[in-house]
Amino acid sequence: MIEHRRFGNLLPHLILLAGVAIVAFPVYLAIIASTHDNTVIANGQMPLYPGSHGLETYWNTIVSGTGKTTRQAVGVMMLNSLIMAIGIAVGKIAISIISAYAIVFFSFPFRMTAFWTIFITLMLPVEVRIFPTYKITSDLHMLDSYAGLILPLIASATATLLFRQFFMTVPKELVEASKIDGAGPIRFFWDTLLPLSVTNIAALFVILFIYGWNQYLWPLLITTRDDMQTIVIGIKKIIDVHDALTEWQVAMATAVLAMLPPVAVVVLMQRLFVKGLIETEK
């Protein structure tokens, strides 16, 4: 720092600690609540340290209902969320990397028309065209299916733009060199371009996985069967019983389970996450 401070860095530490406390407290409270008995929670007497019902609650939540409700096992919901998140991430990356490849490395009729057709989809999130999209998905008999959960959400231009930008920085010489070596376009894509794109793909995967896992409105609309629910909508049904019947310990355990995969991805792959976040938005 520029000038010497008498109290050193006390103030920044205090402010950052306060920030961390605000950010972490709700999560901490959910973890604690998931280890207590529902009667303790419902009385409002829950202590701030873990209780002894954790294993039992998580077992009940993940594997089976508690008998009181006909609730779907949360393990099934997590599996649905996982399939949806990975499907969206992989699908989006796959279709956009090849379309960006076509746009940057080829010249073909209507190339710019195709580019703009894709580019404009950047502007409209699924929320604004939700009911017409629902109707079309229903006409295509995709309600209550993984295809219906995944396909409408992979229509977006962000990934295409990112790959396009990256491909345009690939030096011409590299392409010429592989041409001299006798490589065709498909060979060049597999052997040269794809290995160069690994970091970008990984960064994008992190962002898209979180995006897919955290989807709310779309799965809420198109899933009617309980066994197709994702965990993010399943949790609402658990607390929807708006009175004393809410099993708070189950709700909190579900919240913890719903946070776990995306938080783990962000924390463990922090560098990729920050890269992905900043590059997809710019």
By CB under 8 A, residue 27 contacts other proteins:
yes
By CB under 8 A, residue 103 contacts other proteins:
yes
End-to-end CA distance of the chain: 30
By CB under 8 A, residue 63 contacts other proteins:
no
Stretch near other proteins under the rule CB under 8 A, chosen from 56-64, 67-75, 123-131, 194-202: 123-131
Give CA angle at 80 (75, 82), nearest 5°: 95
By CB under 8 A, residue 233 contacts other proteins:
yes
By CB under 8 A, residue 248 contacts other proteins:
yes
By CB under 8 A, residue 180 contacts other proteins:
no
Tokens 């609540």 sit on residue: 33
Residue 110, Ramachandran bin (φ over 0: left; ψ between -120 and 50: alpha; else beta): left
The residue (of 162 and 265) whose beta carbon lies closer to other proteins is 265
Q: From CA 94, how far away is CA 197, in angstroms rounded? A: 12
Is there a contact between 66 and 51 (Cβ–Cβ < 8 Å)? no
Two tokens, residue 279: 């590059």
By CB under 8 A, residue 166 contacts other proteins:
no
Q: What part of residues 188-217 is at the interface with other proteins (CB under 8 A)? A: 188, 210, 213-217
By CB under 8 A, residue 84 contacts other proteins:
no
What is the length of the chain? 282
**How near is the Cβ of 225 to other proteins at its closest, in Å?**
18
Give the residue, chosen from 35, 61, 72, 133, that forms a contact with other proteins under the rule CB under 8 A: 133
- State phi, psi for 50 to the nearest 5 degrees: -65, 145
